[in-house]
A and B are shown apart, each in its own frame.
Chain A
Amino acid sequence: MKHDKIERNVGILIILTMLAISAGGLVEIVPLFFIKETVEKVDGVRPYSPLELRGRDIYIREGCYLCHSQMIRPFRDEALRYGHYSLAAESKYDHPFQWGSKRTGPDLARVGGKYSNDWQTQHLTAPRSLVPQSVMPNYPWLSKTELDYSDIQGRMKALRVTGVPYSTSKAEFDKNVKEFGEDTAKNLHIPDAEKNLIAQAQVGNYDTNPDKLTEMDALVSYLQLLGTMVDFRKYDDDYFAKFR
């Protein structure tokens, strides 16, 4: 009996079981890499600046994704409350993406620009001071803790490995200028990361405290960017339907 051989040989059993299980995943995921329409053609999407990247890492560290999704689905109620549905293109530089699936709090995919920096800072420090019925935890340490950006270049290099076009050489920089414009390209240049990070924090003053560069600066700069990269007014309202 053929079964007999498989069932009595643990090695073969493990390998064949794994093959059988991965078939489903492979059939669903692999083709997405080859289908042209998966990632929509759209202007404006760019990788994070060093400061925003640190903010994203703090977002992950604090586990914000456990209560907040960043994925507006193409449903009427979500369109009304959160705005345009999320595009695959909008998270193409996100590794890992923050789509999430748990919504204890509202979706954050388009929260950028919705509130002022002052609101974000105050809300993260003490959510109930602004939204009395909120169940979101207080994060008072964010505006007290100085931002550690000593390893920012390492963080960018790691993302580079996954294909995010942070530049190290002049040639790569020039390529970014062509693709994203000069201002953005400067922010993507790894050797200047610290300088750019400090400059953005000073100009933006995200934590509303100009004297200190804190984790709050980074996190708020990230939140203020969410969902703002694509200007949907430039597209017909069904433009993105043709990619599905």
Chain B
Amino acid sequence: MSQDNKKVTTETTGHVWDEDLQELNNPLPRWWIWGFYITFAFALIYWLFYPAWPIANTYTKGVPGLNNVTYVATKVDGTQETKTTHWNMRSKLMVEMNELHKEQKPYFDKVAGKSFEDVSKDAELMQFVNSAGKTLFSDNCAPCHQAGGQGKVKFAPNLTDDYWQYGGTYENIQTTIVGGRHGVMPAFKAILSDAELTEVSHYVLSLSGEPHNAAAAKLGDAIFHGDKAGCYACHGVEAKGNIAMGSANLTDKIWLWPDVLGAKTPEAKLGEVKTLIYGGMDKGVMPVWETRLKPEQIKLLTVYVHDSLGGGK
């Protein structure tokens, strides 16, 4: 072995270890060298086309006119202007959004230009509403109202039923989405005694035919319509609610905060209702969307919620 090594004739680096261990100094392979030169050429061409070198407090933006981006900008006042700039990611995005806008604009224009009822009757347009609405709903609404809009007890209302706390017309729903909602049910722990709380809870349960104590409910009726508690002022004399403030209709079988349907025993049902009246509820916050979504997206979602989720009336 050591015999062979000594026969080396190519140039070496001159380093020798362990008596006869040497390092050959072969030239780099041709293909590798050329690859290296090509990267230089690539860089040079790149500098001509794209932003590259920093100079003082700015940077080169490529040779003017060589690699321009042209897009339509929308100004704050709504007017549009066509602009041409050097290549950059943010302007490229403008181009992409322009293209998307062009694809979707005819549909959005139709949605924006027609009345809610006409959109709803236009089968072709409704296909667009369904697909675009589904995406918007999953990204923004489903985390609270759940994937199909069926809602969640003690959290966010069901949007697929016929009951609307804030009204179920297109206009009502649009107002809800645009400005958000925040229903506040006051706490009665400081106003009503424990016995009174129990009685009024029996009355509330009686309104929708849930098991209750009739005698207690009768006393509760007086409390509900009396001025000490003043439940009727918000929920209405017939307890059917008021869509202007979102005070719930208490005469139906739809419950948002007390889980009356989920509670198995009459005692548990009573407990659910009593806890709510005792402590009140201010967690019902439907966020404001006009700052996040465009008016035409909100209009589309309104139709989606009203028609496609199947709860409109």
State whether the Cβ of B90 lies closer than 8 Å to any Cβ in chain A. yes
Q: Are B57 and A130 in contact (CB under 8 A)?
A: no
Residue of A nearest to B55 (CB): A31
Q: Are A116 and B285 in contact (CB under 8 A)?
A: yes
Q: Are B73 and A237 in contact (CB under 8 A)?
A: yes
Residue of B nearest to A116 (CB): B285
A residues in contact with B73, CB < 8 Å: 236-238
Given contacts A74-B89, A74-B92, A122-B155, contact A208 B143 (CB under 8 A): no
Q: Which of B78-103 contact A (CB under 8 A)?
A: 83, 85, 88-94, 96-97, 100
Given contacts A76-B96, A115-B144, A131-B143, contact A37 B58 (CB under 8 A): yes
Q: Are B57 and A36 in contact (CB under 8 A)?
A: yes
State whether the Cβ of B117 lies closer than 8 Å to any Cβ in chain A. no
Residue of B nearest to A82 (CB): B139
Q: Tell which of A80, A114, A118 touches B283, judged by Cβ atoms closer than 8 Å.
A: A118
Q: Are B76 and A85 in contact (CB under 8 A)?
A: no
Per-position contact with A for B113-155: 1 when CB-CB < 8 Å, else 0? 0000000000000000000000000011001100000001001
Report the separation of the CA atoms of residues A113 and B140 in the bound assembly, to the nearest whole angstrom. Answer: 11
A interface residue count range (under 10 / 10 to 19 / 20 to 34 / 35 or more): 35 or more
Per-position contact with B for A125-142: 1 when CB-CB < 8 Å, else 0? 000001100000000000
State whether the Cβ of A119 lies closer than 8 Å to any Cβ in chain B. yes
Name B residues whose Cβ lies closer than 8 Å to a Cβ of A: 13-14, 51, 54, 56-59, 71, 73-76, 83, 85, 88-94, 96-97, 100, 139-140, 143-144, 152, 155, 283, 285-288, 291-292
Cβ of B273 to closest chain A Cβ, rounded Å: 20
Cβ of A208 to closest chain B Cβ, rounded Å: 6
A residues in contact with B144, CB < 8 Å: 115-116, 119, 130
Name A residues whose Cβ lies closer than 8 Å to a Cβ of B: 1, 3-4, 31-32, 34-37, 73-76, 79-81, 83, 85, 113-119, 122-123, 130-131, 208, 233-238, 240-244
Report the separation of the CA atoms of residues A194 and B235 in the bound assembly, to the nearest whole angstrom. Answer: 42
Q: How many pairs of A and B residues are in contact by the CB < 8 Å rule?
A: 97
Extra 4 A-B pairs, beta carbons < 8 Å, given A31-B59, A113-B291: A80-B100, A85-B93, A114-B140, A238-B94
Residue of B nearest to A231 (CB): B291
30 pairs, A vs B, C-beta closer than 8 Å: A3-B13, A4-B14, A31-B54, A34-B57, A35-B59, A74-B90, A74-B92, A83-B292, A114-B140, A114-B292, A115-B144, A116-B144, A116-B285, A118-B155, A118-B283, A119-B155, A122-B155, A130-B152, A208-B283, A233-B76, A233-B291, A236-B73, A236-B75, A237-B94, A238-B90, A240-B90, A241-B85, A241-B93, A243-B90, A244-B89
Report the separation of the CA atoms of residues A75 and B283 in the bound assembly, to the nearest whole angstrom. Answer: 36
